[in-house]
């Protein structure tokens, strides 16, 4: 399996991954993530000189950057449907990143061998990045349950298969797939809908929004519209 940070970092890992269910992560998985992030926040709050807030508490910051992840059995990376973020403000971002890393390891995560920003366990993955603009920097910690990546990968599978048959698809590209949105003809979300959109990122390039229709029970790729984001 592989992981990739949404800011330029990538890695390959050999840890075992279970096959995903067709549903999003169960409550127990979300509870594990909530508990982990709460424990990390308590540890960081105890450090001198750090101001720690959650993404729910501070809407002025946009540093939510979960790592991409390629579950076993899939040919593409997945972007998690759910993640939690902490923001840490201090006088020294690099020293703060080091402190955060020490606490992540203390909570059972391991630093990735090929990425300076990613820490992971069998079930969780965190991405630690210096974010913001000059003069207003902070460190963001975005954590996600791998079950969320796996559920997105499974939900995206029929759409990826349709996309792979198109002229737009390139076997040489590394794709990041986001959670597809299925709608009815009126544009309302519906699991039985016959229309869908899905964001498709290309590592080192941009992100597009692809459109699909279901004909005789099979999804067909229609077209895509370029977005401004870059997956690098």
Give the model confidence (pLDDT) of 1-52 as tens digits: 566 665 533 333 333 333 334 344 444 444 799 999 999 999 999 999 999 9
Whether 162 and 121 map to the same domain: the answer is: no
What pLDDT is stored for residue 55 in this prediction?
A: 85
Using CB atoms within 10 A of its CB, is residue 61 exposed (0-12), middle (13-18) or buried (19+)?
A: middle
What pLDDT is stored for residue 177 in this prediction?
A: 97
What pLDDT is stored for residue 123 in this prediction?
A: 95
Single residue among 146, 161, 177 that ends a domain in this structure: 146
Whether 31 and 68 map to the same domain: the answer is: yes
What dihedral angle (degrees, nearest 10) is formed by the CA atoms of 192, 197, 202, 207? Answer: -150
Largest distance between two CA atoms of the chain: 62
Cα 6 from Cα 133, distance rounded (Å): 17
Using CB atoms within 10 A of its CB, is residue 204 exposed (0-12), middle (13-18) or buried (19+)?
A: exposed
Single residue among 106, 128, 146 that ends a domain in this structure: 146
CA nearest neighbour of 209 among 191, 228, 193, 184: 228
pTM given for the model? 0.79
């Amino acid at each position: 399996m592989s992981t990739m940070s949404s800011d330029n970092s990538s890695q390959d890992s050999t840890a075992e991954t279970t096959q995903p269910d067709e549903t999003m992560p169960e409550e127990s998985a979300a509870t594990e993530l909530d508990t982990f992030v709460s424990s990390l926040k308590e540890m960081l709050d105890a450090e001198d000189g750090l101001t720690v807030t959650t993404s729910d508490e501070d809407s002025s910051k946009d540093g939510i950057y979960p790592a991409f992840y390629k579950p076993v059995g899939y040919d593409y990376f997945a972007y998690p449907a759910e993640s939690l973020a902490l923001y840490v403000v201090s006088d020294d971002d690099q020293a703060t990143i080091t402190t955060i890393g020490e606490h992540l390891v203390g909570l059972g995560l391991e630093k990735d061998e090929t990425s300076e920003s990613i820490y992971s366990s069998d079930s969780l993955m965190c991405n630690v990045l210096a974010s913001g603009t000059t003069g207003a920097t902070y460190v963001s910690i975005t954590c996600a349950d791998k079950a969320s990546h796996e559920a997105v990968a499974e939900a995206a599978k029929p759409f990826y298969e349709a996309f792979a048959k198109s002229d737009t698809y390139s076997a040489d590209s590394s794709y990041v797939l986001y959670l597809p949105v299925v709608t009815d003809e009126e544009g309302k979300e519906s699991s039985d809908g016959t229309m869908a959109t899905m964001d498709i990122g290309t590592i080192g390039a941009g992100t597009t929004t692809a459109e699909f229709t279901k004909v005789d029970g099979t999804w067909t790729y229609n077209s895509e519209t370029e977005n401004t984001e870059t997956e690098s």
